[in-house]
Amino acid sequence: MDAHIKKVYVPMTETGFYILLCLQEEAHGYRIVQRVEELTAGEVRLSPGTLYGSLSKMEKDGLIELVREEEKRKVYRLSALGGQVLALEEKRIERLYRNMREVQENEAR
């Protein structure tokens, strides 16, 4: 993974993270919106302008691949590079969560 990708995507925006998370399975843009709503019980709703911009950029940077077009909707899937970036983010978020718990537990004592 080159330095540019790391600099742009680690850490990434919430929108970016949810896109990669969802695209472990093939999906089109609106399917991602629906999936994220389900996952977050409606708390995170992606807007089309933000989503379209992120998808275009990620496709250009090779994080996701176009699988096919389905009635004017582009269906994407995570690429190998996207998988590596997602793994990096997952590690970072796990660390954040672990640290949060550690600090909270120390304070509770």
Partner 1 sequence: MKRDKQTKTEVRLFLVTQWEKEQEYLQRRHREGWKFERISGLAVYHFTRCEPEDVVYQLDYHAEGGKEDYVQLFRDCGWEYLQDFMGYSYFRKPRAAMRGDEGIFCDSASRLEMLQRVFRGRMVPLLVVFFLAVLPNLWESVRSGGEDRAVLSFLFLILFFVYLCIFLSFGWKVWQLWREESR
- Residues near partner 1 (CB under 8 A) are 13-15, 29-30, 33, 42, 45-54, 56, 69, 71-74
Measured distance CA(41)–CA(20) in Å, rounded: 19
Residue placing its CB nearer to partner 1 in the complex, 68 or 98: 68
Residue 29 tokens read as 């843009």
- d(Cα 88, Cα 30) in Å, to the nearest integer? 26
**Distance in Å, CB of 72 to partner 1, minimum:** 4
14 vs 94 by CB, closer to partner 1: 14
The least CB distance from residue 109 to partner 1, in Å, is 34
Closer CB to partner 1, residue 15 or residue 79? 15
Residue 27 CB, shortest distance to partner 1, in Å, is 12
Q: How many CB atoms lie within 10 A of CB 35?
A: 18
Contact 55, 76 (CB under 8 A): yes
Question: In terms of CB distance, is 30 or 97 closer to partner 1?
Answer: 30
Nearest to 73 by CA among 33, 38, 24: 33
How many angstroms separate the CA atoms of 34 and 28, rounded?
Answer: 10
Report the nearest approach of partner 1 to the CB of residue 46 (Å): 6
